[in-house]
A = this chain, B = another copy of it.
Amino acid sequence: MDLKVDIARCSAELDRLAQFSDVPAPAVQRIVFTETDLAARAYLVGLFEEAGLKVRHDTVGNIFARWEGTDPTLPPVATGSHTDAIPYSGKYDGTVGVLGGLEAIRTLQRAMRAAGFTPAVPRRSIELVMFTSEEPTRFAYGCLGSRLLSGQLPPDAAAKLTDADGQNLDNVRQSAGFTGPLADVKLQPGHYSAFAELHIEQGPLLERANLDIGAVTAIAAPAALRVRYTGPGGHAGGVMMADRRDPLLAASRLALEVDAAARESGSPDTVGTVGVLDVHPRAVNSIPRDVLLEIDVRDIDGPRRDRVLERIKQKAKQFGDELGVPTTIEMINADPPATSDPAIVAAIEQSCVDAKLTHQRMVSRAYHDSLFMSLVCPIAMIFIPCRDGMSHRPEEYSSPAAIRAGIEVLARTLYQLAQ
The interface of chain A, by Cβ under 8 A from chain B, is: 86-89, 135-137, 142, 201-204, 220, 222, 224, 232-243, 246, 248-249, 251-253, 255-256, 259, 262-263, 268, 270-289, 294-296, 298, 332, 365-367, 389-393
Complex Cα distance, B220 from A142, in Å, reads: 50
User: How far apart are A273's CB and chain B's nearest CB, in angstroms?
Assistant: 4
User: How far apart are A172's CB and chain B's nearest CB, in angstroms?
Assistant: 19
A285 touches B233 (CB 8 A): no
B237 touches A284 (CB 8 A): no
Minimal Cβ-Cβ distance residue in B for A142: B285
Chain B contacts for A294, CB-based, 8 A: 284
User: How far apart are A40's CB and chain B's nearest CB, in angstroms?
Assistant: 19
User: How far apart are A12's CB and chain B's nearest CB, in angstroms?
Assistant: 26
A234 touches B274 (CB 8 A): no
A259 touches B249 (CB 8 A): yes
B239 touches A271 (CB 8 A): yes
A276 touches B271 (CB 8 A): no
Chain B contacts for A270, CB-based, 8 A: 241
B236 touches A275 (CB 8 A): yes
Complex Cα distance, B89 from A233, in Å, reads: 10
Minimal Cβ-Cβ distance residue in B for A135: B285
Contacts known (A233-B393, A249-B256, A252-B253); A238 close to B203, Cβ less than 8 A: yes
Chain B contacts for A286, CB-based, 8 A: 86-89, 273, 275, 392-393
User: How far apart are A159's CB and chain B's nearest CB, in angstroms?
Assistant: 22
B275 touches A285 (CB 8 A): yes
